[in-house]
Structure 1
Amino acid sequence: MNVLTLLLLLFVLSTSLILGKSAFYVLSGLFINTALFLLFIFLLHLQFSVYLVSLLYILANSLVTLAYVNGWTEKTKIAFYSMVLFLFLLTIIFIPLLQALAIHGFPTQEFEELSVMDLNLPIRFSELSVSVLLIGVSGALVDGSMSIASATCELFRHKEKELTFQQLFRSSMTVVKSILNSTVNTLLFAFISSGIALIFWYQDLSIPWQMMLNSKDFVSELMIILLSGLGVALLLPFTSLVTSWYLLKNNTFDS
């Protein structure tokens, strides 16, 4: 038994002990998302549109994570609709922005290793970089939208009196401020963990700090984190606004 198999068994066991019967949906949803990722790679290999395949993958992944694992309730409906609408608006901004930044492709330090490979690929790296960013951001968007939708729904369900839109939205924004801090710090730690190996590599190559800060690798990683943080920072109030409006408009809540 290798280390990966042992870790997988421990993960399945701990998930089953903690979640009970619902562990089946969590574990099966994880394997479904893995299968969707392999399908995503296969469709790119067949030269389908990168943007179209990425959008379909994000929607399918979000539906599995929200609807299949958590059930198609009011909370998951609001979280999914908020995430999809916001991601659509974000895509309109991100695609021209990343094209203008031109952070796609390989850095010069990797040219020697890549010289023995065939770089005539049917996929444009400019489109692939946008796809990678949107897929990475979508994970944080799903998590953030679900957290805010759940908290706002709980505030609405346990209300002691009739709430106005301003009161519910203000209470929901209190949760947003608490979650936003931890979410941004999580993204920062993700950047540190992914970038520390890059920093040591540049130091090993005796590359000055000013060149490292202007390198394509470093700027690319930093831009992904900054844009992800910006997306999450805007999504949380957006989800709070949509959830408050939806709940008061329907005046019902089905947990």
Structure 2
Amino acid sequence: MNVIVLLAIILLVLMIMVGGKKGLRSFFSLFLNFGVIFFTLAFMLNPDMNPIILTFIASVLIGCISLFYINEINQKTIIAFISTMITTVILLVFIVFVSDSLMIQGFGEEETEALSGYSLYIGIDFMKIGVSVIILSTIGAIMDVAISIASAMHEIVKHNPKIGKKDLVNSGINIGRDILGADTNTLFFAFFGGYLALLIWFKDLSYSIGEIINSKIFSSELMLILCAGTGVALVIPISSWINAYYLLRVKEK
């Protein structure tokens, strides 16, 4: 049996054992999200299509699959979806500005040999592709924080219906603070895990710290971590305020 198929079966069994029906839907959502990304990449090959717009549409679809398909349509998932989309729009504007200022799109000199047999004249704006990569790399972490805060705040109101708006918002932010450190560290170590071979190569080539930091590959990945961390930090107050406003408004009615 193919090792990948075996690993997929093990993952499926564990997700069903732990999550039941929701675990099964979570497993199939991986393939649905892969399909969204695959078709988005296919459309990106068309020079007449804007990769940033395509990425935003893909983010909406991924949000619907990850929130509504897995957890069904309810108050928590709707608020988490709204919080995710608002944060994504704000982050998108920020990333476009930063990417245009840093000019780190394209390939670094370390990749020259691997790309020497390919043509780079493909008619696609690499700056927009870079923005798309960052957004797709960030959307999962943003959704994770948004649904975590929404679930926790709903439980707070359920067990303490007399809580005020200010206290509820502060509770949401305090919950987000605990998540913030874990998520940013996850993004950080994901980068170093994925690019460990590159860092070893830098060491073997006797790169100085300055040369490593100014390397296009390193700078682009570091920018991804910082932008993803910014998105996680932004979604905390946004999700906390929206949840508090909605929950207390429902309680008043």
TM-score range, shorter chain: over 0.9
Q: How many residues align?
A: 252
The residue aligned with 1:18 is 18
Supply the AA of the counterpart residue of 2:212: M
In structure 2, relative to structure 1, the CA distance for the partners of 1:249 and 1:205 (3 Å cut) is same
Which runs of at least 4 in structure 1 moved beyond 6 Å after TM superposition? Answer: none
> Following the alignment from structure 2 to structure 1, what is the Cα–Cα distance between the partners of residues 107 and 99?
15
Q: Secondary structure at the match of 1:118?
A: coil
* CA positional deviation for 1:252: 7.9
The residue aligned with 1:213 is 213
* Kept in 1: contact 2:172–2:236 (CA 8 A): no
* Equivalent runs, 1:8-157 vs 2, <5 Å: 8-47=8-47, 48-157=49-158
Q: Cα deviations across residues 86-141 of structure 1 (Å, max 9, x unaligned)?
A: 21122122112111111111111222332221111121111100010111111111
The residue aligned with 2:236 is 236
Supply the AA of the counterpart residue of 2:144: D
* Kept in 2: contact 1:195–1:221 (CA 8 A): no
The residue aligned with 2:197 is 197
Q: Which runs of 5+ in 2 are unaligned?
A: none
* Kept in 2: contact 1:83–1:142 (CA 8 A): yes
Supply the AA of the counterpart residue of 2:239: T
> Following the alignment from structure 2 to structure 1, what is the Cα–Cα distance between the partners of residues 169 and 38?
40
Q: Cα deviations across residues 208-239 of structure 1 (Å, max 9, x unaligned)?
A: 33211211111111111011112211211221
* CA positional deviation for 1:32: 1.0
> Following the alignment from structure 1 to structure 2, what is the Cα–Cα distance between the partners of residues 116 and 177?
48
Percent of aligned positions that are identical? 32
Q: TM-score, structure 1 length as denominator?
A: 0.93
> Following the alignment from structure 2 to structure 1, what is the Cα–Cα distance between the partners of residues 143 and 83?
9
Q: TM-score, structure 2 length as denominator?
A: 0.94
> Following the alignment from structure 1 to structure 2, what is the Cα–Cα distance between the partners of residues 225 and 79?
22
Supply the AA of the counterpart residue of 2:37: F
* Kept in 2: contact 1:62–1:80 (CA 8 A): yes
Q: Secondary structure at the match of 1:206?
A: coil
> Following the alignment from structure 1 to structure 2, what is the Cα–Cα distance between the partners of residues 15 and 5?
15
Supply the AA of the counterpart residue of 2:96: I
> Following the alignment from structure 2 to structure 1, what is the Cα–Cα distance between the partners of residues 176 and 110?
42
